[in-house]
């Protein structure tokens, strides 16, 4: 009998072990950093906490996210140490945010960033994010810049959010952010929504597939150089999550998409037949893109498009990530030659009568050439009248009509 009971006990224990939930390492570790300084009123602080609680509710409580909460004023304190976000831990984290009192005091942003970075650096998550909200500039800008650079250099994404900041405060946050410009809503009611969206969005982006670099400028070119332009740039498509992602689409999209060509994927000539393919956890693929306009001119003075990658995770959720592609061509260049044997030219006026692609060239377009007296003068004329030759280099694929009123002759004496 005892052996039978013992056997049942073993079976029962085995069943309990089988039903235990085991979480893998988190995809992302994120630190919510709350400004508790004296400049924030009690009611506005409640709205700030509401924004962070909304961000918390937007994150998956499935063990893929690790969360820390830091509060700062004259000092920085840890409200929630790194905790795996699950259905079991969610309420405790949410309660800690809701019940966190406002301390008041200065704005020790450097201590806040350092405290958050220290917590994140101890995490095993491959992606790390600091989501910091503030209504003012730091007590010590130089120390904050050092703290921000140290965090970013260690691989942490720094995503600050302003609230009603003056231009100086906004400029400062832009200077330390990983991806400026930073949002800067005018009031705390809007701020709550922005905090939720930015913090949740930063965590989701970091946890999924990424494209680096996030933006690439292919350079500046003249119209004459366009046929030979074959500027090439390399991008890295990386799966930072613990899931296997299915890459469903890789394409160039946007206003001037035809000027860019995807040439290679993982070192092989790119072909749409390579899609879809799976991207394993913590793995990456190289993508090559060239700017090859082949005489295709942009609708404005620059080529603007995006390298866009669409993917689906194991739950069926769709993700999309992009890198901006830009390239510019020189704007109108106006050259002036004057055929005249008599005296120096001292003035060129009435240039509004010159039109290019449907709009007026202004007088400064000519004056910008320098001293009109230095305009090149060649040859002799027998009739006493000066001749002016205007050569216009333009990006417009249109005919250009010149109209020079008769009275301009008097200004070229």
pLDDT-wise least confident of 2-11, 223-232, 376-385: 2-11
| pLDDT-derived band at 262, boundaries 50, 70, 90 | very high
Helix residue ranges per DSSP H, 80-108:
90-99
3 state DSSP class of 96: helix
| pLDDT-derived band at 23, boundaries 50, 70, 90 | low
- What pLDDT sits at residue 205? 61
Residues 220-250: tens digit of each pLDDT: 887 767 766 778 999 999 887 667 889 999 9
Position with higher pLDDT, 400 vs 106? 106
Residue-averaged pLDDT of the chain: 76
pLDDT-wise least confident of 4-18, 189-203, 261-275, 322-336: 4-18
Q: What is the mean pLDDT of residues 26-31?
A: 87
Give the rounded percent of residues in the chain with a pLDDT score beyond 90: 37
Position with higher pLDDT, 287 vs 367? 287
3 state DSSP class of 251: strand
d(CA 322, CA 179): 13
Least Cα distance to 201 among 183, 175, 174 occurs for: 183
Residues 288-327: tens digit of each pLDDT: 999 988 878 887 778 899 999 988 876 566 677 888 899 8
Give the other-Cβ count within 10 Å of 193's Cβ.
Answer: 14
- Set out the domains of the chain in order of their start, with CATH numbers: 28-207 (3.40.50.410), 210-329 (2.60.40.10), 333-412 (no CATH)
- What pLDDT sits at residue 381? 45
378: phi then psi, degrees, rounded to nearest 5: -135, 155
């Amino acid at each position: 009998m005892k052996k039978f009971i013992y056997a049942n006990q073993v079976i029962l224990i085995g069943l309990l072990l089988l039903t235990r939930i085991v979480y893998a390492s988190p995809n992302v570790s994120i630190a919510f950093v709350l400004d508790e300084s004296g400049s924030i009123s009690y009611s506005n602080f409640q709205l700030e906490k509401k924004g962070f609680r909304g961000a918390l509710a937007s994150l998956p409580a499935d063990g893929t996210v690790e969360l820390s909460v830091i509060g700062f004023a004259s000092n920085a304190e840890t409200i929630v140490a790194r905790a795996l976000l699950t259905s079991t831990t969610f309420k405790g984290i949410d309660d800690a945010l809701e019940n966190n009192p406002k301390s008041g005091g200065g704005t020790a942003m450097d201590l806040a960033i350092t405290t958050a970075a220290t917590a994140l650096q101890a995490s095993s998550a491959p992606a790390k994010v600091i989501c910091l909200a503030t209504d003012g500039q730091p007590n010590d800008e130089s120390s904050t810049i050092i703290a921000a650079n140290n965090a970013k250099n260690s691989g942490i994404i720094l995503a600050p959010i302003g609230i009603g900041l003056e231009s100086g405060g906004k400029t400062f946050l832009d200077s330390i952010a990983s991806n400026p410009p930073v949002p800067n809503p005018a009031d705390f009611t809007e701020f709550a929504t922005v905090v939720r969206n930015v913090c949740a969005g930063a965590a989701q982006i970091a946890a999924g597939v990424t494209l680096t670099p996030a933006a690439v400028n292919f350079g500046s070119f003249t119209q004459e150089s366009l046929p030979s332009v074959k500027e090439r740039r390399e991008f890295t498509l990386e799966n930072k999550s613990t899931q296997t992602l299915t890459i469903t689409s890789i394409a160039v999209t946007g206003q001037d998409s035809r000027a860019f060509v995807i040439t290679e994927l993982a070192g092989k000539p790119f072909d749409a037949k390579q899609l879809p393919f799976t991207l394993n956890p913590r793995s990456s693929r190289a993508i090559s893109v060239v700017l090859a306009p082949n005489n295709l001119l942009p609708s404005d003075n620059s080529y603007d498009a995006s390298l866009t990658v669409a993917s689906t995770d194991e739950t069926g959720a769709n993700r999309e990530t992009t890198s901006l592609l830009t390239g510019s061509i020189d704007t109108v260049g106006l050259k002036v030659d004057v055929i005249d044997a008599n005296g120096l030219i001292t003035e060129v006026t009435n240039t509004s009568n010159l039109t290019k692609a449907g709009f007026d060239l202004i007088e400064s377009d000519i004056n910008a050439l320098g001293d009109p007296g230095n305009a090149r003068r060649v040859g002799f004329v027998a009739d006493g009248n000066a001749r002016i030759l205007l050569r216009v280099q333009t990006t417009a694929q249109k005919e250009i009509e010149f109209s020079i009123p008769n009275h301009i002759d008097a200004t070229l004496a």
